[in-house]
Structure 1
Amino acid sequence: MKIDYHTHHVRCGHAVGTLEEYVKQGVAIGLDQLGLSDHMPLLHVDPATYYPEMAMAMEELPRYVEEAFSLKEKYKGQIDIRVGLEGDYIEGSEEAIERIVKAYPWDYVIGSVHFLGTWDISDFRQTHEWEGKDKLAVYEQYYDAVQKACATGFYDYIGHIDVIKRFGFKPDADVTHLEDAALAAVKANNLAIELNASGLRMPVAEMFPSRRMLENALALGIPLTIGSDAHQPERLGQYLDEARMVLKEVGFTQLATYEGRKRIMVDF
């Protein structure tokens, strides 16, 4: 079973390629399931005055859903398309997030923390925000947000759970207790996590999450899915062979897939 559940396309502003180009690439590389999971529109900042090209416009959301389900039907028998959303968790915007999550018949919704307030910690243009900050305090705020995301009931799995490390900014102090608390929240709320291979092409040069967190997730019985976080069609499936190898080394034998918000475990 070859799957890729984390992808982005041109509507989000910082990716290229149409949805159909991703589908065709998925067929070409032999994916069994392709998850379409573009970014939820911005809710707590003004798109007109914030950094450009952050997420799809609100008016594009229904068009995204309509096109995704149309492609699911068109390519039936060639590739199994699952229609998802990367539903950013933004503290204080829970009601607006819930409206979007409930408005469409998603196969799955990824819960990802990108924002701490108005700072997108995953945006390379905003790394200057680290200057003068207590790195441990930032990590504490981030992992607190992850735990709160788990408790909302909005999500099926948590995306790139330790993405805070993306640009290599790390506290001198040990943060394993913060990582473990986040995984405990995942377990307590019956969620899964993803192994997001895109970290291998980031400054941190490590997948999300770390091997230590994967081992802890396995010990806790947390289900796991997999994604490339591709922002270009040619990167679909990138590093997923390496990711599957790591999972097998750690001891995982199954992957979580989703249909109609229901988790289905499959061998890989």
Structure 2
Amino acid sequence: MFIDYHTHHARCGHAVGELEEYVRKGIEIGLVQLGLSDHMPLLHVDPASYYPEMAMPMDELPRYVEECLALKEKYKGQIDIRVGLEGDYIEGCEQQIEAIVKAYPWDYVIGSVHFLGEWDITDFRQTAGWEGRDRMAVYEQYYAAVGKAAASGFYDYIGHIDVIKRFGYKPEEDVTHLENAALQAVKRSGMAIELNASGLRTPAAEMFPSRRMLEYALELGIPLTVGSDAHQPERLGQYLDQAYSVLREVGYKQLATFNCRKLVMIDF
């Protein structure tokens, strides 16, 4: 059951390729289900004065959904398109996030933490933000935000749960207890997580999450889906063969899929 639930396209500003290009690529590589999941518009910073090309403008959001739904119908019978959103968890913006989540007919919403305040810890242009900071304090702040995202009830699964490691900045102290607490929060919420294969092309050189976290997630009984986090059509499905191999080795036998915000487990 070849699926890819995490993708981005030109509308967000930092990806390339139109949505239909991803759909055609998905058909070409044999995807059974393709999740379209572009970034939610920025809520807590002024897009005009912040770093450029971070997310789609707010007035593009309805156009994005309309296009996804049109493609879902157009390619019915060739590929099963699921309409999604990567919805940043921004502390203090809960009402705005909830409004977006409720306003559209999503199949699923990914809960991801990119921002700690106005600092996007996943943006290569902002790595200087680590300078002079207590790394353990940053990790504590990040994983606390993941826990709040899980508890919010806005999302269907947590995206790249340990993406804080993306650029290789790690505390000297052990962070296992922070990772475990985040997974426990996901379990309490009844949510899933993803195995995001894109970590293999970052300085972390490791998928999100780590194998250790995958093993603990399985122990907790947390459902799991997969995504390439492709920002170019040619990267659709990238490294997912390795992701599936790791999941089999760890002991996962099913994948989480989503339809109209309902979790559906499938064998793979």
TM-score, normalised with respect to structure 2: 1.00
* Pairing 1:174-213 to 2, within 5 Å after superposition: 174-213=174-213
Which residue pairs with 2:129 in the alignment? 129
Shift of 1:146: 0.2
The CA distance in 2 between the partners of 1:36 and 1:249, in whole Å, is 28
Which residue pairs with 1:173 in the alignment? 173
Which residue pairs with 2:245 in the alignment? 245
The CA distance in 1 between the partners of 2:45 and 2:71, in whole Å, is 31
Shift of 1:169: 0.1
**Which whole-Å deviations, capped at 9, do the CAs of 1:109-160 have from their partners, x for residues lacking one?**
0000000000000000000000000000000000000000001100000000
Shift of 1:99: 0.5
Shift of 1:208: 0.0
Which portions of structure 1, spanning 4 or more consecutive aligned residues, are displaced by more than 6 angstroms?
Answer: none
Residue type of the alignment partner of 2:124:
F
- 1:90 matched to 2:55: no
Residue type of the alignment partner of 2:77:
G
Shift of 1:240: 0.1
The CA distance in 2 between the partners of 1:42 and 1:11, in whole Å, is 13
- 1:160 matched to 2:173: no
The CA distance in 2 between the partners of 1:183 and 1:204, in whole Å, is 20
Which residue pairs with 2:215 in the alignment? 215
Which residue pairs with 1:28 in the alignment? 28
Which residue pairs with 1:143 in the alignment? 143
Shift of 1:64: 0.2
CA RMSD of aligned residues (A): 0.2
SS across alignment from 1:69: helix
The CA distance in 1 between the partners of 2:152 and 2:136, in whole Å, is 25
Shift of 1:65: 0.1
Which residue pairs with 2:7 in the alignment? 7
Which residue pairs with 1:109 in the alignment? 109
- 1:63 matched to 2:37: no
Residue type of the alignment partner of 2:185:
A
The CA distance in 2 between the partners of 1:262 and 1:162, in whole Å, is 25
Shift of 1:189: 0.4
Shift of 1:247: 0.1
SS across alignment from 1:52: coil
SS across alignment from 1:127: helix
**Which whole-Å deviations, capped at 9, do the CAs of 1:75-121 have from their partners, x for residues lacking one?**
00000000000000000100000000000010000000000000000
**Which whole-Å deviations, capped at 9, do the CAs of 1:34-77 have from their partners, x for residues lacking one?**
00000000000000000000000000000000000000000000
Shift of 1:166: 0.1
TM-score, normalised with respect to structure 1: 1.00
Structure 1: stretches of 5+ with no match in the other structure? none
Count of equivalent residues = 268
Task: Report the identity percentage.
Answer: 79
Shift of 1:198: 0.0
